[in-house]
Amino acid sequence: MRIGKGRGLKLAGLALALSFLTGTGAAYASGEGAGLLSGVLSLDVSCGYDGNAKAGRYAPMEISVGNGGEDEFTGVVSIVTMEADEEIYSYEYSVTVEGNGQEEMEIYVPLGTGSDQVFVSVCNDSGQEMAEKRLKIEASEETAELFVGLLSDHPERLAYLDGVGVSFGALRTRAFPIATEDFPEEERGLDTLDVLVVNDYRLRNLSEQQTRAIMDWVEAGGVMVLGTGDRVDDTLGRFAPELLDESYDSPQRMEIHPDGDGAMGEIPTETVEVSCVRVSLHGGTVLTADQGFPLLSVAMKEQGIVAVTAYDLGDIEAYGRANSSFVDEMFTDILGEERISQLSAYIYGNTGEEYWAVQNAINTGNVEKLPNVGLYMLVTAVYIGLAGPGIYLFLKKREMRRYYGTCLTGCAVLFAVILYAMGSKTRFHGTFITYATVKDATGDAVTETTYVNLRNPYSRPYRVEVDPAYAVAPVTRNMYYYGENRKRFTGAEENQVSVRYGQESTSVAVQDAAAFDSKYFRLTRQEENISEEGLTGYLRYYDGQVSGSVTNQYDSDLEDVAVILYGRLVPVGDMKAGETVELDSLESLSAPVNDPYSVASFLTGLSEYEQADINDAGYMRALERTNLLVFYMQNSLQGYRSEARAVAFRPSGDDEPQEWMKRYDSFGLTMLTSSIEVDSSQDRMRYRSALLKRASAIQGSYDPTSNMIYSQEPATVVYSLGGDLDVSRVEFCSVDPVFAGEEDSSWKIFAGDMYVYNHVTGKFDRMEDMVLEEGDLIYYLSPENELTVRFVSTDDSGYGWAVLPMPMVTGREI
């Protein structure tokens, strides 16, 4: 989204017309005509970084309101957008401007994906519009764009990163600089970006809050690329303690192939002489190397990625301009196919995945609101018995049949009152909220993400007051849910939802809503972990064994505690407040990497129930926890990660709603999480999954994200073990049978024969066991450290998908 800035014009009508047609300049309204005592009101707006912003993301917005009159002006600034479901949302902020003064505002606004326009206006306290500005979203309609922010003292040297196709043209880069004075202090301020490149820049020029915002953004799913070279101390030094396994050496001049060694038989690329630094990322892997020297390394940082180049990206400017494929391959390798696929889908607007996932997570409902059907049937039977033969026979025996009508009416009224009283606990009397909260306590920060579903039993407007510490963003349906004929957004439409930010509370007002119509929102906040709460500990994962300890630092007991690693699960069970559990004595299980439901239902005990029973409190508790854990794993634990996640729930009686929710009828669940570092090394030996790099199939049907093949077809899979290891052992670990699920499950555990390709004989050798030792690997590893394995299923139970064993690699770091 590029938004230009024009010059303010003194003629009000001309300025308004130009502002509407071009989305630029300042907007003016006459003070006398609009309710000001004298003078004019001006409005100037800029959005994004250098005019770059992305619909569906938070965007930084700078708003300037000028008062040319003598009297003080008080009113409201409104930012109006249309969401993917074609509903109009406004975000409102109070503003006060002294006479002949100017008020500057810096805010973050979630831009809707339902239109290419955003309207900003200023209204007085009476609701009368004083000035308006239209912003036009400029986005490619042909190719999804990869937004690359450049934090550099010389961003012009990185211009070659702009306008390059990535992954066969699935994305096209849009690179733009971010000035130090414009750099945000909140994670939301970086939400516009897909990638942040820090190169030739002293990170210590940023404040502690700005640096924290970068890491929060990365951990939430952002991608950061750090260039090093001669200024390695400036770009990497500040992050060195948390990113590196060991200190780096001084830069040295080297001739390198920026594209790396390449595969055997390929024509070598040209060389460049640059200053390089050997960097060893904690839990990282080398994507590109030249003669064993790592040029590009990456490491997962919770949901995000940190990539480090051995050189200054500006030093290879000429090479990058002459070889656009270098930029393509660099971003393709760093992002990975799955992330690229998600970003490329952005061209079609809001996918709605979050909406449907949230709906599944929090719509279990409060079973306490369900009526007691048996009791209702009993009361109804008693009424029928009395109203029918009971009263009649009673009166007939006493020769008082003339009173039958009166008694029948009285009986009907009495039982109507009884039924009304019985339904009092199942009746909604006002706005009610269902919610799901994930509270992550890691290190010195507590990050809370709450999804809420607001509803009202009446077809009338209603308002909800939210804690002002939360950032509020809507969660809406897929833009194509209603078909492709979309309405035009003009800014004159009535708002369906208004979010008013105040000092005491944030008010969410819903207009024209049908009875029980759902409105979903995502509420986020981050606080300092003053009480040092969380699940803390030390983990070591080596040679298939998980050891270490986990401590419950909360002041309450916890249930269903578990430690989740990539492809490995350690169920802990219940923990007392302050208790420490040693993991050495606990069983660890090999788990499927892309089936969160089977893992979650096993942890919560839901898999033990043979059938659903909503009248069983234990079943409903397990179902609610399973739904929330599945949602969390789908959104936060997908793909390879080097750290572990500890998850837990509070006992049902201790899980209270947040303070602001207690004013309403609220029901929901909170899950507690913490990130725990994992040591997978022994001296210079490393232990990790071969799925760190995406495996590929050269025969058959193979899904690399879930490590599955179509069971009735032979499949040949190539595993890349990485150029940074001298591999000494490869072990294939089968998924534990407890995750296999029912007979009608969508997948099964692979059962069959495995064959590994022998590069000496040119044939496939049958594997007798699930381990390849160092003496065998000299025949089976290619020069690029690739292992080719053929899987032939012997399962005759029918067609379907089968999850393969997880290949675990042990090797010495080169």
Is 494 or 742 the better-scoring residue by pLDDT? 494
CA torsion sign for 522, 211, 91, 7 is: negative
Res. 789: pLDDT tops 80: yes
CB 4 within 8 A of CB 140: no
User: What confidence tens digit (pLDDT) does each residue in 84-102 have?
Assistant: 888 999 999 999 999 899 9
Residue 734: name the closest of 800, 792, 802, 806 by CA.
806
Res. 118: pLDDT tops 90: yes
Global pTM reads 0.85
pLDDT band (50, 70, 90) for residue 367: low
Quick one: average pLDDT of 589-614?
90
User: What confidence tens digit (pLDDT) does each residue in 649-689 have?
Assistant: 999 878 888 889 999 988 899 999 999 989 998 988 999 99
User: What confidence tens digit (pLDDT) does each residue in 273-296 have?
Assistant: 999 999 888 777 788 888 888 899
pLDDT at 37: 40
pLDDT at 347: 63
Res. 727: pLDDT tops 90: yes
pLDDT band (50, 70, 90) for residue 480: low
User: Could you write out the DSSP letters of every residue in 163-177?
Assistant: T-EETTTTEEEEEEE
User: What confidence tens digit (pLDDT) does each residue in 516-573 have?
Assistant: 899 999 999 999 999 999 999 999 999 999 999 999 999 999 999 999 999 999 999 9
User: Could you write out the DSSP letters of every residue in 677-693?
Assistant: -EE-EETTEEEEEGGGS
Quick one: average pLDDT of 200-223?
92
Task: Say which amino acid occupies 568.
Answer: R
CB 436 within 8 A of CB 448: no
Residue 570: name the closest of 579, 578, 581 by CA.
581
User: What confidence tens digit (pLDDT) does each residue in 21-78 have?
Assistant: 333 333 333 333 334 443 488 999 999 888 888 888 999 999 999 998 888 999 999 9
Res. 145: pLDDT tops 70: yes
pLDDT at 742: 61
Is 246 or 626 the better-scoring residue by pLDDT? 626
Res. 5: pLDDT tops 60: no
Q: Which residue has the tokens 């070279």?
A: 229
Is 596 or 639 the better-scoring residue by pLDDT? 596
CA torsion sign for 224, 680, 633, 352 is: positive
263: which residues sit within 8 A by CB, 6+ positions away? 784
- Least confident range from 131-135, 237-241, 751-755, 802-806: namely 237-241
Mean of pLDDT over the chain: 86
pLDDT at 486: 66
